[in-house]
Amino acid sequence: MEKLIIHGGLSITQEKDSSDFEKNKVLRLIASESFDILVKKNAKKSVLHAIMMMEDNPIFNAGTGSKLQSDGEIRMSAALMDGNKNIFSGVVNIKNIKNPIAMAEILSKEENSVLSGDQANEFCKKHDIPDHSPFTIYRLNEFKKSCSGKHGTVGAVAIDRRGFVIAGTSTGGVGCEIPGRVSDSPTVAGTYASKKSGVSCTGIGEQITRQAVAAKIVTRVDDGMKLNNAVDKTIFEANKFNYSFGLISLDSEGNIEIGKTASISELYYAFCDGEVIRSFMV
Ligand code: ASP
């Protein structure tokens, strides 16, 4: 049976504002629309649709509405993992395009499936991908004020009726990072899937990378561990370092699991298992 889970990032602070509730509402709508695509088409199309919708909505930190790096430029990253074909593809620090996740999908057909920086943009030009400014006044003000603000990386994991698992993640980074800093999202630490499970992470990229979070959970499940135990063990290990991240995951038996370390106050997610759409801040 088809399942889909999506996330819209996390919050480290306890403060809630109207954007949190808006995010929840939007996630619900996107989960519902993308679930339809999952049923009518497949897991890859559903994950791409969900992530593109979130990239196009400026309340999320991905695509339009991405955060600014410390030089005032926006550089975006995204990855897609096809668990059935064992293909990982992505873009790192790409500029001025609308949908980084769509580029990750194009690259999944190339031998060199992860591209970065100016060369990633040159590749877009060769494929006639039009320029698009992801800039928003809201992110500029956030950048000028404090370099902080809410996170809002996006991700999706789906399994279709053939049992194919796809995971994807897209981000504008943490904001105010050293130009060119590489996030976890376009690496196997932030986005990973196999025939048995898939994971998408959000949070402090360096910490997610140090623990190889997504790849580790998927490997544990491949080796026979139950998804809930694999997630719990990974979160337990991260809490020992006081790390800050969250994740969404599902497995080929149809289990859905959420994980977040102790320091995270909210993880925004929604899922659909065919009967109901649920959206949460946990
Ligand atoms: N993981 C992303 C990064 O480190 C940020 C986030 O998920 O909020 O770039």
- Our answer on whether the CB atom of 246 is closer than 6 Å to any ligand 1 atom is no
CA dist., res. 73 & res. 117, Å (int): 12
For residue 205, the model assigns a pLDDT of 97
Helix or strand run (H / E) with residue 53 = helix 43-56
203 CA distance to ligand 1 centroid (A)? Answer: 5
For residue 24, the model assigns a pLDDT of 87
| Rounded mean pLDDT for each run of 10 residues along the chain, 282 residues in total | 94 71 90 95 98 96 96 97 98 98 97 97 94 94 78 94 97 95 98 98 97 98 98 98 97 95 91 72 54
Which of the listed residues 54, 142, 151, 260 should we mutate to test ligand 1's pocket, taking the one with most ligand atoms within 8 A of CB? 151
Distances (CA, A) of 107 to 89, 197, 201: 6, 22, 21
CA–CA–CA angle 212, 260, 59 (5° rounding): 100
For residue 275, the model assigns a pLDDT of 61
The model carries a pTM of 0.96
Residue nearest to atom 7 of ligand 1 (CA): 202
64 CA distance to ligand 1 centroid (A)? Answer: 16
Ligand 1 atom nearest 245 alpha carbon:
7
Annotated active-site residue 153? The verdict is yes
CA dist., res. 278 & res. 148, Å (int): 29
102 CA distance to ligand 1 centroid (A)? Answer: 19
CA dist., res. 81 & res. 88, Å (int): 4
183 CA distance to ligand 1 centroid (A)? Answer: 6
| Nearest C-alpha neighbor of 158 from the set 15, 244, 274 | 274
For residue 14, the model assigns a pLDDT of 63
| Amino acid at residue number 166 | I
Residue 255: how many other CB atoms lie within 10 Å: 15
- Our answer on whether the CB atom of 77 is closer than 6 Å to any ligand 1 atom is no
